[in-house]
Amino acid sequence: MILVTGGAGFIGSNFVLDWIAQSDEPVINLDVLTYAGNRENLATLDNNPRHVFVQGDIGDSELVARLLAEHQPRAVINFAAESHVDRSIHGPEDFIQTNIVGTFRLLEAVRAYYGQLPESGKNAFRFLHVSTDEVYGSLTKDAPAFTESHRYEPNSPYSASKAASDHLVRAYHHTYGLPVLTTNCSNNYGPYHFPEKLIPLCILNALAGKPLPIYGDGQQIRDWLYVKDHCSAIRRVLEAGRLGEVYNVGGWNEMPNLDVVHTLCAILDELSPRADGQPYKTQITYVTDRPGHDRRYAIDASKLERELGWKPAETFATGIRKTVQWYLDNQPWVSNVTSGAYRDWLGKQYGTNEARGEKQ
């Protein structure tokens, strides 16, 4: 079996659902259930004996050691993290605790477990660390996309904490011989994406008649990948990646934020037109920029394609249409995640005045 951490979050839950659908191998899913973790993402696995959910922290050394000893996984895939850049700007502490200290404690527990495996178990074992393109920093307009040898230049508390975790993973391979793999992926989108992030936030705000907040001039570029393609890349790296190697994952799909939001609006105009017949793009509102906002990310995924034959299945056009349709079809999920604490976050991040479209 495999042990997945953070498997109730956006990417982790998509990974677990796909894994159970495509393989007979059971999954232990360790997730502490922060605001971003949602058991409802995994509702279709209720009563499925191949999915064992454990609520707990990757930084809880005793718990992780016990799970490893009891279940004897042949791989650990680490998705668990604090993942939202804006939250890391408001309060970095949780990012340091989970992304750095948590990853360190997880690595220590895995090192002890790995050390006592028989030779055959050692040969089969993998620790796969899921990371981000943000560790490479920001690109100028015409600079080539990030390769795996691009230097680390993290600019936010989030990306700095992910960079630290990547370095720890690397060190555990070089120092202790732990069989690690690291993936650095670009921006994901798709089902179960928590609506604090640009794409789901704008879909839901559009439908609710609220402003679509664009930071700064909206010309920041991100490189978008459909979440199921990220999951297939992780499966491929787990299966055939070379030990100690880093693989960039991306869909060769750079877009300015404003274009992304215009695309969403056009799809919504078609699938769920506004009652007053006005286009959704009239709800676009420019708000104060994110401090230290990275201007451009772009991933060069050619190593993954060349060495492991991986390619994304979706284009942005197909993936974004599926995503908008998913949010339209899953209103109960939406209402559950947008209650309570979520509204407090919107108030803190966008402020009442900005939410009305007025600059503060």
Question: CA 17 to CA 39: how far, in whole Å?
Answer: 12
Question: CA 55 to CA 34: how far, in whole Å?
Answer: 10
Task: CB nearer to ligand NAD: give 57 or 354.
Answer: 57
DSSP state of 23: -
C-alpha distance across the termini of the chain, in Å: 52
Task: Give whole-number Cα distances, 139 to 100, 216, 225, in Å.
Answer: 25, 17, 18
* Beta carbons of 222 and 215 less than 8 angstroms apart: no
Task: CB nearer to ligand NAD: give 285 or 319.
Answer: 319
CB of 19 to ligand DAU, least distance (A): 21
Residue 229: active-site member: no
Pattern 90-119, ligand NAD, x by CB under 6 A: --------x---x-----------------
Q: Which stretches within the chain are classed as H helix?
A: 10-22, 61-71, 85-90, 93-95, 103-115, 119-124, 157-176, 198-207, 227-240, 257-271, 302-308, 316-329, 331-337, 341-355
**Catalytic residue chosen out of the listed positions 82, 134, 254, 294:** 134
Task: CB nearer to ligand NAD: give 59 or 211.
Answer: 59
Residue 226: active-site member: no
* 162 lies in the site for ligand NAD, by CB under 6 A: yes
Provide DSSP, 158-201.
HHHHHHHHHHHHHHHHHHH---EEEEEE-EEESTT--TTSHHHH
Residue 300: active-site member: no
Question: CA 230 to CA 333: how far, in whole Å?
Answer: 22
CB of 88 to ligand NAD, least distance (A): 11
CB of 185 to ligand NAD, least distance (A): 4
In the chain, the amino acid numbered 205 is N
* 8 lies in the site for ligand NAD, by CB under 6 A: yes
- Other residues' Cβ atoms within 10 Å of the Cβ of residue 169: 24
Binding site for ligand DAU (CB under 6 A): 83-85, 132-134, 186-187, 197-198, 201, 213-215, 220, 222, 257, 290, 297
CB of 13 to ligand DAU, least distance (A): 15
* 36 lies in the site for ligand NAD, by CB under 6 A: yes
Task: CB nearer to ligand DAU: give 27 or 284.
Answer: 284
- Sole binder of ligand NAD in the list 18, 26, 33, 153 (CB under 6 A): 33
Binding residue count for ligand NAD, defined by CB under 6 A: 30
Question: Where in the sequence numbering do the catalytic residues fall?
Answer: 133-134, 158
Contacting positions for ligand NAD (CB under 6 A): 5-6, 8-12, 30-34, 36-37, 57-59, 79-81, 83, 98, 102, 130, 132, 162, 185, 187-188, 194
